[in-house]
Chains A and B, each alone.
Chain A
Amino acid sequence: AQTVTQSQPEMSVQEAETVTLSCTYDTSESDYYLFWYKQPPSRQMILVIRQEAYKQQNATENRFSVNFQKAAKSFSLKISDSQLGDAAMYFCAYRSPNSGGSNYKLTFGKGTLLTVNP
C-alpha cells in the first residue's frame, strides 16, 4: 500500500518570502500522480499543483513549484512571494495510474499547516 508522509505539521513564513513544504511517499509503482492540495479555513479542498511521475520536468503554477525527486520518492512544494491568502493546510497526495477510466483514489499525507505572517 502506498503511504504519504509530511514531516512538518506546521510551518510559518513571512509575507513575500519563500517557503518549502516537504513530502515523501512510498510506492512500488513506477507510474503515478502526485498532488498538492490546499485547504483554507473554509475547508474547501483546492488543487494547487499536479505532477505526473513519468515527467522529469518539475511542475510549476505561477508562484507554486515542485521539486520532484523520483528516486528519492520526494515531492516538495515551494511557494514563492508568499501571500496572506496562502495561509492554509497543505496536503500532499498520491494517486495510482488510472485503470479503465476509474481508480481516482487519493492517498493523503497528514498535512502541513502554513501560517503567513504580515
Chain B
Amino acid sequence: KAGVTQTPRYLIKTRGQQVTLSCSPISGHRSVSWYQQTPGQGLQFLFEYFSETQRNKGNFPGRFSGRQFSNSRSEMNVSTLELGDSALYLCASTRGRGGTDTQYFGPGTRLTVL
C-alpha cells in the first residue's frame, strides 16, 4: 500500500509570490490534515479536511488556505509569501472512521522563501 505522498518535495519562492502544495493520502483515507513545522514554533496545526469539507482550522492568517478533492487529495495554498513562511509543511492522512485511527504522515514539502 502506497504511503502519503507530497509534491513537490522542495520549493524555493520569493516574497510576495504564492505557492500550492499537494498531498495525496493513502488509498481509502478520507481525512487529511496539514501542519507547519519551523525551528521556532515547532509543529503547528494548519487545517483538516474530511470528505471535501474543512472541519478544523488552526490559528493562521487568511493567506493560508486549502481544499480537498473528491478523491481525497488535498492542496494547500499560501498567497503573498513572507520570509516567515519558510518551513517544512507536513500532511497526514487518516481513514476518517473515528476512534483510534492512526495518522500517517507524508515526507513533507520544504518551502524556502527568499
Contact = CB atoms under 8 A, between A and B. Distances in A.
Contact of A47 (B33, B55, B102, B110): B102
A103 B108 CA distance: 21
Contacts of B102: 47, 50
B42 A104 contact: no
Nearest to A110: B42
A43 B6 CA distance: 13
Contact of A103 (B56, B58, B88, B97): B56
Interface in B1-31: 30-31
Interface in A87-104: 91, 98, 100-104
Given A43-B88, A45-B90, A111-B42, A104 B99 contact: no
Q: Is the interface of A mostly helix, strand, loop or mixed?
A: loop
Given A98-B98, A100-B98, A105-B45, A44 B107 contact: yes
B103 A104 contact: yes
B107 A104 contact: no
Candidate in A37, A42, A105, A110 with the most chain B CB atoms within 10 angstroms: A105
Interface of B: 30-31, 33, 35, 42-43, 45, 48, 50, 55-56, 58, 88, 90, 92, 94, 96-108, 110
24 contacts: A33-B100, A43-B107, A44-B105, A44-B106, A45-B105, A46-B105, A52-B100, A91-B43, A98-B99, A100-B98, A101-B31, A101-B50, A101-B98, A102-B56, A103-B48, A104-B31, A104-B33, A104-B56, A104-B101, A105-B45, A105-B48, A105-B58, A106-B103, A108-B35
